[in-house]
Amino acid sequence: MNAYHREMEVYQYQINIDNYTTMMAAMSSDAWPETLSAWASTEIANLPATMSDEDVELISDLQYRDRIRSLIRTEKAEQNKARRVLEALKQQIGADADVRIAAYTPTTGA
């Protein structure tokens, strides 16, 4: 049961990685403009009221892109940890681990 759930955990991380990667592909990969780079870690609510709507929107988009980039890294790191645990569980189960995991059904526990 534990190996099955760990396998699902690895799978869920991959879904997140794939989704975030797709989102990143639709976003600009340009560097922060020098004129706005000082605002990279400033919350949108704390930006100057005199700042143009276009600059606020660009800052928001770039912050979101940077956040997604960070999430991809985090998901990959966590997925690697889950894979290590899964491999350790499979070694403990033995040579037929993949067959036994595939045969497990979470609704019945068999």
Q: Where are the chain's structural domains?
A: 2-27+51-103
The band of 108, judged by pLDDT with boundaries at 50, 70 and 90, is: low
- Could you tell me which residue, 100 or 70, shows the higher pLDDT? 70
Residues 86-102: tens digit of each pLDDT? 999 999 999 998 898 88
- Of 46, 73, 72, 74, nearest to 59 by C-alpha is 46
Instruction: Read off the pLDDT of residues 2-12 as tens digits, 9 standing for 90 and up.
Output: 899 999 999 99
Q: For residues 60 and 94, is the Cβ–Cβ distance under 8 A? A: no
Mean pLDDT of the chain: 94
What gap in Å lies between CA 86 and CA 100, rounded to an integer?
Answer: 13
| Rounded distance between C-alpha atoms, residue 83 and residue 7, angstroms | 8
Counting Cα atoms < 13 Å in the Cβ hemisphere of 11 gives: 6
Residue 106 has pLDDT above 90, yes or no: no
